[in-house]
Structure 1
Amino acid sequence: MRFIDTIEGLDDIFKTDIPKGSVVLITGPPGSLKSGLVFSMLSKYLENSGEYGIYITLEQSKKNHLENMRSMGVELPDNLTISDFTDYRLQYDEFSGDLLNLIETNIIQYKNKLGDNFTCLALDSLGALYSLMDVEPRLLRKRLYHLIEPLRREELTTFLILEMADPNGPNHEFEGYLADGIIELGVHTKEDSTNRYIKVKKMRASAHSMDPHILTVSNSGLQIYKGTIF
């Protein structure tokens, strides 16, 4: 099973698959389907591969997240675990220095339990993580680096979601440096037509188009196709 076979039309963007063990940054404004894209890729990949993965949510509760995904035609497979850290928001004043440690412990426990069968994970989202950590940006990013690099060495394909209201605004240089791939999602209005789009800005060791493609939601899930956007 390839990641690029999980969403209809994704293989029109990629000529070769996202390499195993890559760290992929998913960016975009609110409503651009960042969570939907990542969850769709993980759920469909795991459903057909027999491997295991974990989806760490700091944005929505597990219940709300699954309701949202089902509305897009995406179900939760048995081999994808959702780790819900949203309750942490209720007590972060008391435990604000421990969140990265808690996430790391969660991942390590999952790895120890499943070994090489544990192959992929998602963190939704970096923005929520940053807002809950009482650490200056320089130290926070250093700690994040020390969390992500072991995942890469373990060949865990990792998706990091980062909300960016304006793709032409301030760059998140550290996150871009950390990532092997950057997939930009967005919403663009041209005349009287508004479309969501997906654009692969980089993906190391993978052949892909850099042209924007239209991203839509149907009853059977997400779909991608070539179209005039800009």
Structure 2
Amino acid sequence: MRFIDTIEGLDDIFETDIPKGSVVLITGPPGSLKSGFVFSILSNYLNNCEEHGIYVTLEQNKKSHLENMGSMGLELSDNLTISDFTDYRLQYDEFSGDLLSLIETNIIQYKHKLGDNFTCLALDSLGALYSLMDVEPRLLRKRLYHLLEPLRRENLTTFIILEMADPNGPNHDFEGYLADGIIELGVHTKDNSTNRYLKVRKMRATAHNMDPYILTVSNDGLHIYKGTIF
């Protein structure tokens, strides 16, 4: 099973699969299907192999998250564990300095439990993590680097969601530098028609199209197809 076979039309963008062990940044504004896109990739991938993964959520609690995914026709794979850190937000004033360490511990424990069968994870979202950590940005990003590098060494394919209201506004050079791939999701209006789109800005070690593709959602999941966006 390839990651690019998990959503209809995604394999039209890539010539080869997203390399295992990559850190992939998923960016976009609210409503651009970032969580649905990542959840769909992981659940569909894990449904078709003997591997396991974690979806770390800081934005929505597990129940709300699964209800949202279900409304898009997306079902949770038995091999995907939802690691819910939303309750932690109620206590962050007292314990915020420990949040990244708790996430690291959670991942390490899962790795010790499943070994090489643990192959992929998602962090939803980096913005929520930043907002909950009482650490200056320079030190926080340094800690993020020290989290991501061991994930690469363990060959864990990692999808990190980062909300960006304007893809042409202030960029996130540090996160982009750390990432092996950047997939931009967006919403664009042209001639009174509004479409969601997907654009692969970079993906190391694989050939891919850089044109925008239309991204749609129906009651049977997500679909990607070529169309005129801009």
What residue number does 1:169 align with?
Answer: 169
TM-score normalized with structure 2 length = 1.00
**Off by >3 Å, runs of 4+ in structure 1:** none
What residue number does 1:179 align with?
Answer: 179
Amino acid in structure 2 at the alignment position of 1:159: F
Residue 40 of structure 1, CA deviation: 0.1
**C-alpha separation in 1, matches of 2:13 and 2:199:** 8
How well do the aligned residues superpose, as a CA RMSD in angstroms?
0.4
What residue number does 1:60 align with?
Answer: 60
SS of residue matched to 2:66: helix
**C-alpha separation in 2, matches of 1:113 and 1:169:** 42
Q: Runs of 5+ in structure 2 lacking a partner?
A: none
What residue number does 1:125 align with?
Answer: 125
Residue 50 of structure 1, CA deviation: 1.4
What residue number does 1:84 align with?
Answer: 84
What residue number does 1:105 align with?
Answer: 105
Residue 195 of structure 1, CA deviation: 0.0
Q: How many residues matched?
A: 230
**C-alpha separation in 2, matches of 1:146 and 1:222:** 33
Residue 77 of structure 1, CA deviation: 1.1
Residue 61 of structure 1, CA deviation: 0.4
SS of residue matched to 1:208: coil
What residue number does 1:221 align with?
Answer: 221
What residue number does 1:140 align with?
Answer: 140
Residue 10 of structure 1, CA deviation: 0.2
**C-alpha separation in 2, matches of 1:208 and 1:151:** 24
Q: Identity percentage over the alignment? A: 87
**C-alpha separation in 2, matches of 1:45 and 1:219:** 19
Q: Runs of 5+ in structure 1 lacking a partner?
A: none
Amino acid in structure 2 at the alignment position of 1:218: S
The CA deviation string for residues 57-90 of structure 1, in whole angstroms up to 9 with x for no partner, is 0000000000000111110111100000000110
SS of residue matched to 2:48: helix
**C-alpha separation in 2, matches of 1:30 and 1:136:** 25
Residue 218 of structure 1, CA deviation: 1.5
The CA deviation string for residues 89-126 of structure 1, in whole angstroms up to 9 with x for no partner, is 10000101000000000000000000000000000000
The CA deviation string for residues 10-49 of structure 1, in whole angstroms up to 9 with x for no partner, is 0011110000000000000000000000000000000001
Residue 220 of structure 1, CA deviation: 1.1
